A and B are shown apart, each in its own frame.
Chain A
Amino acid sequence: MKKIKVVSFLVLLAFVFTLTACGGNTAKNETKETKEKVFVFAKSGDPVGLDPANVTDGESIYVTQQIFETLVKYKEDNTEVIPGLAESWETSKDGLTWTFHLRKGVKFHDGTPFNAEAVKFNFDRWMDKNNPYHHGEFEYYGYMFGGYPGVIKEVKVVDEYTVQITLKTPLAPFLSNLAMPSFAISSPEAIKKYGQDYFKHPVGTGPFKFVEWKKDDRVVLERFDEYWGGKANFAKVIFRTIPDNSARLMELKSGNVDAITDINPDDVETVKNDPNLQLLLRPSMNVGYLAMNTEKKPFDNVKVRQAINHAINKKALVDAFYGGLAKPAKNPLPPSLWGYNDEIQDYEYDPAKAKALLAEAGYPNGFTTTLWAMPVARPYMPQPKQIAEAIQKDLEAVGIKAKIVTYDWATYLKKGQNGEHELYLLGWTGDNGDPDNFLYVLLDKDNAKKGSASNVAFYKNDKVHDLLIKAQQESDQTKRAEYYKEAQVIIHNDAPWVPLVHSTPPLAAKKSVKNWIPHPTGSECFFKVDKDE
């Protein structure tokens, strides 16, 4: 017996030594790697997918922005369009034919060349529902180009580095649309190779290439050494998913991550006062809103919708939940965009008036309804549940009893697209700096189709539709602005939403992080970002 004990003790000892030896090795490896700069970036949600053409959420797009590039792109701090994969372009007088001259010597991460054929392959895949590689919903293509194939008639290869796109009708925001991350060019060979699974194996031309994606944990990217624009400063970029706002900030404070998104407004002061951290502000180009499902009773009654607009104390909400980094909204468009109608007078906070309107609508004692609240922090609404509770209290004061309902993020969006809700909180960050991207996407009848609706109020007004289509086909910006201003007046009177807030989303990083310029569209490429070791 004793022998056995001694032997097992020795075995155990051996084990412990081997383990510690291993530990020592990994520690050495890590220190070796830190000579190469690694950028760790923490967000609140995991990507839905990494095929840029098939995602609409900011959590996915932040990652695809690093891997992919578009034909044209935005300037680093605004939405002015500048050359991207296309060096130059011209358009015909009627605005229907666009010719793009592509950059030469660009390679995809899998070594295949970027050329006109590749561009045509991508467009055909998005446009044509019968294309063998049309795996997925391609929502953004539908939202921006009016369906499949929508407004694009044909994409033609002129020569190896020239592509011609023909439109059926003029589309004023066409060029701005092409700069959206969703219209990034993927490697045709990779799409053919991975088929349905391409969203897990993204291959683009960007400064970083994809290495691995551990679901709900991290996405790891590596520098692409043959990038046409030179070498990125970081050997690796790691996106970590940390859903809890406070936990994410703690990770930044303890130094485990370099930068984070979506900080609690209550924590803004904490970040400002920390000598090791810096607070960054993303320029405001968003709206947080409460949509009322106009297809359901009693929200089909405009008086009820106006009553709710009068019942909610927006100013108090903004003061309480945004740490001074937001403005109450009166329009669906953010004031930073051209075409914003500042002449509109907001529905003032007036519970008595709200009650009177409810009585006129036939609900003197109010009614019972549901109020849907997002389960995750969004840039336009960092604490959706608390805001929902405050709105619930405001509604209760005018006699409306609202039950708060919530689901996981993907289900929440899906049920909203299906129109299962009554009162529904959501928001939107502009993608291209064009009013079309707010008004047409969020409030046109074209986008109120159950199942894929982005107009979750299911607001259908033919007058508004005519104005928005006219604005799409007009190239003169002054005239377009007039159309949008007129549309905003009708929308204001019909009140399908309670526009709540335009926020300036706060971000935080270590002091050592340099050249990080938050873009108004909600994400940016980390090519030029650097940090002092």
Chain B
Amino acid sequence: MGKFWEKDWIKRLLKNKAAVVGLIIVLLLSFTAIFAPVLAPYDPIKDGSLQNRLKAPSSEHLLGTDKLGRDILSRIIFGARISVEIGVISVGLALIVGTLMGLTAGYYGGFLDSILMRIVDIILAFPSILLAIAITSVLGPSLNNAMIAVGIVMVPSFARVVRSTVLSLKEMEFVEAARAVGANDFTILFRHILPNSMAPIIVQGTMNIGTAILDAAGLSFLGLGAQPPTPEWGAMLVDARELLVKAPWVAFFPGLAIMLTVLGFNLLGDGLRDALDPRLKQ
């Protein structure tokens, strides 16, 4: 478990071809997100006119134009920004809350553990997308609320992983040693136990970013997430549905972007898990 701080996991990761493909996709996505204004040939919202709507891919518009005549390539490029934002913020939210819950539940046990884990069970009892729909319906449809909803839905996965790690770590000798020296609970949790639980948290986080992007795209597709004219990939698919026969590129490219991104994060997540914990592979 404690292998995260050693260097040989990187070597193991780079030996795994699928993981490298995932890593490249993730790096490309991050690059696109950061340099979107430089890369995009047009403004994703303001450019384009109705006279130019639903034009097929051409040298002028590499991926064609959408129902309002906007350049689809530019919208996908700016959409990468939003997807990265969704992934980082919602998973970050889930990671912080989930980790704190897991640490507390695992370390203190007893009544607190029961309460926290029952909350987790309750959240898990709902199909995740259904729960996310319910939350955004209550909070009101917007991209921020969609991120919160997706974050809440993902809290249990972190809480459970961290709790089980803590349960095994707290019996270890280095924890007892720290306690013997007189370290308080806070120091033990955050200086000793947490750094040693990083590997599973990172694996979980990477895998969840893909799911988060997919869920948020789903919410936007249902009109509960990103609102027009935001160039979010899921939102771009909404009107494309009616145009499948007439202008398939309107649906195809955002769909492809979502698929590749989720695939990238999943491959990387799988690779990280194998690299960080070789025992799991056998």
Contacts and interface: CB of A to CB of B under 8 A. Distances in A.
Contacts of B239: 385-386
B32 to A, nearest CB: 24
Given A245-B242, A246-B242, A404-B228, A390 B46 contact: no
A243 to B, nearest CB: 12
Nearest to A247: B242
Interface in A308-329: 313, 316-317, 319-320
Nearest to A318: B50
Interface stretch (A75-83, A162-170, A391-399, A521-529): A391-399
A266 B227 contact: no
A493 interface: no
Contacts of B229: 389, 392-393, 396
B49 interface: yes
B50 A320 contact: yes
A240 B265 CA distance: 45
A272 interface: no
Contact of B68 (A264, A390, A403, A406): A390
Interface string B239-259: 101111110000000000000
Given A264-B242, A392-B228, A404-B228, A317 B68 contact: no
Given A393-B68, A404-B228, A317 B46 contact: no
Interface of A: 245-246, 264, 266, 270, 313, 316-317, 319-320, 385-386, 388-390, 392-393, 396-397, 403-404, 406
Nearest to A375: B223
Contacts of B68: 386, 389-390, 393
Range, interface on chain B = 10 to 19
> Secondary structure at chain A's binding surface: helix, strand, loop or mixed?
helix
B67 interface: yes
> Secondary structure at chain B's binding surface: helix, strand, loop or mixed?
loop
Contact of A319 (B51, B223, B246): B51
B84 to A, nearest CB: 24
A55 B51 CA distance: 39
Given A245-B242, A264-B242, A390 B228 contact: no
A317 B45 CA distance: 17
Nearest to B54: A266
Interface in B22-63: 45-46, 49-51, 53
Contacts of B53: 320
A390 B50 CA distance: 8
B227 A403 contact: yes
Given A270-B245, A390-B68, A393-B45, 19 more contacts: A245-B242, A246-B241, A266-B242, A266-B243, A319-B50, A320-B51, A320-B53, A320-B67, A386-B67, A389-B67, A390-B50, A393-B46, A396-B45, A396-B46, A396-B229, A403-B227, A404-B227, A404-B228, A406-B223
Contacts, number: 45
Contacts of B49: 316
A246 B53 CA distance: 19
Which 8 residue pairs spanning A and B have beta carbons closest together? A316-B50, A320-B50, A389-B228, A246-B242, A386-B67, A266-B246, A320-B53, A404-B228
Interface string B195-219: 0000000000000000000000000
Contact of A313 (B46, B50, B245): B50
A254 to B, nearest CB: 15
B51 A397 contact: no
Contacts of A245: 242
A404 B245 CA distance: 27
Counting chain A CB atoms within 10 Å of each CB, the highest count among B50, B67, B229 belongs to: B50
Nearest to A244: B242
Contacts of B241: 246
A316 B53 CA distance: 11
B252 to A, nearest CB: 17
A388 B49 CA distance: 15
Nearest to A373: B228
19 contacts: A264-B242, A266-B242, A266-B243, A266-B246, A316-B49, A317-B50, A320-B50, A320-B51, A320-B53, A320-B67, A386-B239, A388-B228, A389-B228, A392-B228, A393-B46, A396-B45, A403-B227, A404-B227, A404-B228
